[in-house]
A = this chain, B = another copy of it.
Amino acid sequence: MARPTNTRFAVAVHVLTLLAGTSEEVLSSELLAGSAGANPVHVRRVLGALRRAELVGSRPGAHGGWQLERAADTVTLGEVWRAVQGDDPLLGLHGAAPECTVGQRIQHALGDVDRRAARAVEEELARTTIYDLARDTRARELEPAPATAL
Protein backbone atom coordinates (compact mmCIF):
# COMPACT_ATOMS: atom_id res chain seq x y z
CA MET A 1 0.00 0.00 0.00
CA ALA A 2 0.21 1.35 -0.10
CA ARG A 3 3.47 3.19 0.38
CA PRO A 4 5.40 0.70 -1.64
CA THR A 5 9.14 0.82 -1.64
CA ASN A 6 8.33 -1.88 -4.13
CA THR A 7 9.98 -1.12 -7.45
CA ARG A 8 9.12 -4.33 -9.27
CA PHE A 9 6.31 -2.89 -11.34
CA ALA A 10 8.30 0.17 -12.31
CA VAL A 11 11.33 -1.91 -13.23
CA ALA A 12 9.15 -4.28 -15.26
CA VAL A 13 7.58 -1.44 -17.24
CA HIS A 14 10.95 0.18 -17.75
CA VAL A 15 12.55 -2.99 -19.05
CA LEU A 16 9.63 -3.89 -21.29
CA THR A 17 9.67 -0.44 -22.82
CA LEU A 18 13.35 -0.77 -23.57
CA LEU A 19 12.79 -4.19 -25.15
CA ALA A 20 9.96 -2.75 -27.23
CA GLY A 21 12.06 0.16 -28.44
CA THR A 22 15.31 -1.53 -29.32
CA SER A 23 16.36 -2.79 -32.71
CA GLU A 24 18.64 -5.38 -31.16
CA GLU A 25 17.54 -8.99 -31.13
CA VAL A 26 18.03 -9.40 -27.39
CA LEU A 27 19.20 -7.22 -24.51
CA SER A 28 21.26 -8.48 -21.58
CA SER A 29 20.08 -8.14 -18.00
CA GLU A 30 23.18 -6.14 -17.25
CA LEU A 31 22.33 -3.53 -19.86
CA LEU A 32 18.71 -3.41 -18.74
CA ALA A 33 19.78 -3.08 -15.12
CA GLY A 34 22.07 -0.20 -15.99
CA SER A 35 19.26 1.73 -17.60
CA ALA A 36 16.70 0.94 -14.93
CA GLY A 37 19.02 1.88 -12.09
CA ALA A 38 18.96 -1.55 -10.51
CA ASN A 39 21.27 -4.53 -10.36
CA PRO A 40 21.12 -7.43 -12.82
CA VAL A 41 19.93 -9.98 -10.29
CA HIS A 42 16.92 -7.91 -9.36
CA VAL A 43 16.10 -7.36 -13.03
CA ARG A 44 16.36 -11.06 -13.73
CA ARG A 45 14.00 -11.84 -10.87
CA VAL A 46 11.45 -9.37 -12.21
CA LEU A 47 11.90 -10.70 -15.73
CA GLY A 48 11.41 -14.20 -14.37
CA ALA A 49 7.88 -13.23 -13.32
CA LEU A 50 7.27 -11.71 -16.74
CA ARG A 51 8.50 -14.87 -18.42
CA ARG A 52 6.12 -17.01 -16.35
CA ALA A 53 3.39 -14.78 -17.74
CA GLU A 54 4.82 -15.43 -21.20
CA LEU A 55 5.44 -11.77 -21.85
CA VAL A 56 9.18 -12.13 -22.44
CA GLY A 57 11.61 -14.90 -23.30
CA SER A 58 15.25 -15.41 -22.45
CA ARG A 59 18.17 -17.09 -24.16
CA PRO A 60 21.09 -18.22 -22.03
CA GLY A 61 24.66 -18.43 -23.07
CA ALA A 62 26.90 -16.14 -25.00
CA HIS A 63 25.05 -13.44 -26.92
CA GLY A 64 22.01 -14.34 -24.86
CA GLY A 65 19.53 -11.96 -23.35
CA TRP A 66 15.85 -11.08 -23.24
CA GLN A 67 13.23 -10.31 -25.84
CA LEU A 68 9.52 -9.60 -26.01
CA GLU A 69 7.37 -12.64 -26.70
CA ARG A 70 4.38 -10.64 -27.88
CA ALA A 71 3.78 -7.52 -29.92
CA ALA A 72 4.24 -4.45 -27.72
CA ASP A 73 0.81 -3.06 -28.53
CA THR A 74 -0.86 -6.18 -27.12
CA VAL A 75 0.89 -6.00 -23.75
CA THR A 76 -1.10 -3.86 -21.33
CA LEU A 77 0.20 -2.48 -18.07
CA GLY A 78 -2.63 -4.39 -16.42
CA GLU A 79 -1.04 -7.65 -17.49
CA VAL A 80 2.33 -6.45 -16.28
CA TRP A 81 0.83 -5.52 -12.94
CA ARG A 82 -0.79 -8.89 -12.56
CA ALA A 83 2.36 -10.72 -13.61
CA VAL A 84 4.47 -8.84 -11.10
CA GLN A 85 1.98 -8.37 -8.32
CA GLY A 86 -0.13 -11.50 -8.43
CA ASP A 87 -3.11 -11.56 -6.11
CA ASP A 88 -1.50 -9.68 -3.28
CA PRO A 89 -3.95 -7.42 -1.47
CA LEU A 90 -3.77 -3.82 -2.55
CA LEU A 91 -5.19 -1.94 0.40
CA GLY A 92 -3.81 -4.02 3.23
CA LEU A 93 -5.72 -6.08 5.74
CA HIS A 94 -5.63 -6.36 9.47
CA GLY A 95 -6.34 -8.92 12.12
CA ALA A 96 -9.47 -8.06 14.03
CA ALA A 97 -10.22 -9.60 17.37
CA PRO A 98 -11.39 -13.17 16.65
CA GLU A 99 -14.09 -13.10 19.30
CA CYS A 100 -15.69 -10.06 17.73
CA THR A 101 -18.26 -11.01 15.10
CA VAL A 102 -18.51 -7.42 14.02
CA GLY A 103 -14.81 -7.43 13.33
CA GLN A 104 -15.09 -10.56 11.23
CA ARG A 105 -17.88 -9.03 9.17
CA ILE A 106 -15.83 -5.93 8.57
CA GLN A 107 -12.87 -8.01 7.50
CA HIS A 108 -15.05 -9.85 5.02
CA ALA A 109 -16.42 -6.60 3.65
CA LEU A 110 -12.90 -5.22 3.39
CA GLY A 111 -11.92 -8.24 1.34
CA ASP A 112 -14.62 -7.37 -1.17
CA VAL A 113 -13.54 -3.75 -1.23
CA ASP A 114 -9.94 -4.76 -1.78
CA ARG A 115 -10.83 -7.00 -4.71
CA ARG A 116 -12.92 -4.27 -6.29
CA ALA A 117 -10.12 -1.74 -5.89
CA ALA A 118 -7.59 -4.16 -7.38
CA ARG A 119 -9.87 -4.72 -10.35
CA ALA A 120 -10.25 -0.97 -10.82
CA VAL A 121 -6.49 -0.58 -10.90
CA GLU A 122 -6.07 -3.36 -13.43
CA GLU A 123 -8.76 -1.90 -15.67
CA GLU A 124 -7.16 1.51 -15.53
CA LEU A 125 -3.73 0.07 -16.25
CA ALA A 126 -5.18 -1.97 -19.12
CA ARG A 127 -5.79 1.27 -20.97
CA THR A 128 -2.07 1.72 -21.58
CA THR A 129 0.20 -0.63 -23.52
CA ILE A 130 3.94 -0.99 -23.62
CA TYR A 131 3.76 0.24 -27.18
CA ASP A 132 2.19 3.49 -25.99
CA LEU A 133 5.10 4.10 -23.66
CA ALA A 134 7.72 3.08 -26.21
CA ARG A 135 6.17 5.33 -28.84
CA ASP A 136 5.95 8.34 -26.54
CA THR A 137 9.46 7.79 -25.32
CA ARG A 138 10.86 7.48 -28.80
CA ALA A 139 8.90 10.48 -30.10
CA ARG A 140 10.20 12.72 -27.36
CA GLU A 141 13.66 11.32 -27.76
CA LEU A 142 13.73 12.58 -31.35
CA GLU A 143 12.65 16.08 -30.39
CA PRO A 144 15.38 18.68 -29.82
CA ALA A 145 14.43 18.87 -26.15
CA PRO A 146 11.50 21.28 -25.70
CA ALA A 147 12.27 24.60 -24.08
CA THR A 148 9.61 23.91 -21.46
CA ALA A 149 11.30 20.72 -20.38
CA LEU A 150 11.45 19.72 -16.72
Which A residues lie at the B interface, using CB under 8 A?
Answer: 1-11, 13-14, 17-18, 21, 34-38, 77, 81, 85, 88-97, 100-103, 105-107, 109-110, 113, 116-117, 119-121, 123-125, 128, 133, 136-137, 140-141
Contact = CB atoms under 8 A, between A and B. Distances in A.
Contact of A97 (B1, B35, B94, B117): B35
Given A35-B100, A36-B97, A2 B90 contact: yes
A93 B12 CA distance: 11
Q: How many copies, total?
A: 2
A10 B105 contact: no
Contacts of A7: 92-94
Given A3-B88, A21-B102, A90-B1, A97 B9 contact: no
Query: Which of A85, A94, A128 lies at the interface centre, i.e. has the most chain B CB atoms within 10 A of its CB?
Result: A94
Given A1-B1, A2-B85, A92 B13 contact: no
A44 to B, nearest CB: 16
A102 B102 CA distance: 51
Given A1-B85, A3-B88, A10-B92, 16 more contacts: A1-B2, A1-B4, A1-B6, A2-B9, A4-B92, A7-B92, A10-B94, A13-B113, A14-B103, A14-B106, A35-B100, A37-B95, A109-B137, A117-B124, A119-B124, A120-B123
27 contacts: A1-B6, A2-B4, A2-B9, A2-B85, A3-B4, A3-B6, A3-B85, A4-B4, A4-B90, A7-B94, A10-B91, A10-B93, A13-B110, A13-B113, A14-B96, A14-B103, A14-B106, A17-B102, A18-B102, A34-B97, A35-B103, A36-B96, A102-B137, A117-B121, A120-B120, A120-B123, A120-B124
